[in-house]
Structure 1
């Protein structure tokens, strides 16, 4: 089972400003708090490791902590792992539920 969270930043933000803006840091902090409340602690730990490199308006498709406990992810692979479990666009569950089973979403570049 997985959960969906969207980390949204203001459209006026630039990538360079993303790492330093208190507003943006607050948005990712709020998103991580919501993930923790839903008990996705391992995924939050990985996001914390690379939070300044995560694109704005990212939707996370998070595996459960039980599944994450079976994964072997080196520090150098964290960003790649998160990119495989995210979509660089804000999506709502109502949008995803309409997709037929087996739909493959493109990887973010």
Structure 2
């Protein structure tokens, strides 16, 4: 279950799916970005935030980390959905965060 499309939350998802055949669940608003169907909008950043953002991604490149691989989403989740197959009932709560559909558009 992916909470949103940022690299620190979905960075290894494609490899995990390839290795295990895992089913991917994610919030419907983030599906286009997780799957690669739409480019993730660039966030509006202050100069200080921009410098931090660039530094983080430069560090990724210096460490030789591969670029983000998108992954297909098997189940798009929406407020009130239920997720079956868990040891107890799971109900989806939409809790807006810091991804594009909720803050930047």
Shared fold (TM-score, shorter chain, > 0.5):
no
| TM-score relative to the length of structure 1 | 0.21
> Looking at CA atoms only, which structure, 1 or 2, has the larger radius of gyration?
2
In the superposition, the TM-score normalised over structure 2's length comes to 0.21
